[in-house]
Amino acid sequence: MIKRIYFLTSEIIPFAESHRLASFSKEIPIVFNERKYDFRVMMPKYSFISERRYILREVIRLREMSMQYRSEQITASVKSAFIPNTKVQVYFLEHPFYYHTTDTDLYPLAPEKNEQRNAVRFGYFAYAALTTLNYLRWKPEVIIVNDWQMSLIPLLMNADLLNKDYFEGVKVLQIVHSKSPQANFTNRDYAEVGLKNYARRSQIAAERNVIATAFPYCQHVLFINKNDDLFGAYLNDPVYSSLIQRDKRKFSVYECKEESTEEWQNLANEIIRLVEQI
């Protein structure tokens, strides 16, 4: 039975919220925590998140993590807090430039500075989130990556930039919550974060979409429909349709009818079924 799950997301209520991903990223960890899973959560520490209000504390083991990113040696740091009124602990990855943003523009489409490009910001998150595991001395059985922001993670796990052997046997469940132009990364974006091989393999612009690029490196992909046909939008898009058609069994859809305790329990049951299956 799967027990160790690493849950990576870019927003969680009440710390940061731009769309429905934030409520999902709050409620699902609560359910898994109640069910006694070893379920660990990480998100970026955006500059607007109040350390005093949410009582963020240093994690001694994660205070000075040494890692190389974009040809630079970086000392990364992580703090932690609990989702208010719950027992769910959240790790917050810090960086003075990458996550210096406003609560109304989490993912700038045309940023003025290179450090604010989404590929660079979430490339850093991918490196640090995976490096964190070594410092925690904890190996998950499944990594859940949420939406396009986390889709560089399975690519990085299969590159030669980190200890590839460490991730041997670790499964990836990709959960798709939106269809956004921010998911379109350029060849330059991939090269910038060290994934030059993916840039070279991209023959047409369509193949550079990060969610589509990540599909082959995930064991399963779950689409969350909520009062819309998100999966249909992907299926009707030539960027994704051929990839989905190649292995239909790898893709599934959950119809989220409402945001209620019962619905979150049902959705958690589906996620458990999938992680046990992969």
What are the boundaries of each domain within the chain? 4-277
The whole-angstrom separation of Cα 22 and Cα 166 is 30
The whole-angstrom separation of Cα 126 and Cα 111 is 20
pLDDT of residue 113: 76
Q: Write the pLDDT tens digit of every residue in 164-177.
A: 788 889 999 999 99
Alpha-helical segments (H) within the chain: 21-34, 51-54, 118-136, 152-157, 187-192, 196-201, 210-214, 230-235, 238-246, 261-277
Q: What is the mean pLDDT of residues 8-20?
A: 95
pLDDT of residue 198: 65
Query: Can you tell me whether residue 33 is helix, strand or coil?
Result: helix
Q: What is the DSSP string of 105-135?
A: -SS-SS-SSGGGSHHHHHHHHHHHHHHHHHH
Q: Which residues pair with 171 in a beta bridge?
A: 142
Q: Tell me the CATH architecture of domain 4-277.
A: 3-Layer(aba) Sandwich (3.40)
Asked whether 243 and 236 are in contact (CB, 8 A), the reply is no
Closest CA to 101 of 125, 117, 86: 117
Please name the residue that has the structure tokens 């989702």.
83
Query: Can you tell me whether residue 211 is helix, strand or coil?
Result: helix
Q: Write the pLDDT tens digit of every residue in 69-85.
A: 988 898 999 999 999 99
pLDDT at 103 over 80: no
pLDDT of residue 199: 52
Give the mean pLDDT of the chain: 90
pLDDT of residue 259: 86
Q: Write the pLDDT tens digit of every residue in 219-256.
A: 999 999 988 899 999 999 988 888 898 889 999 999 99
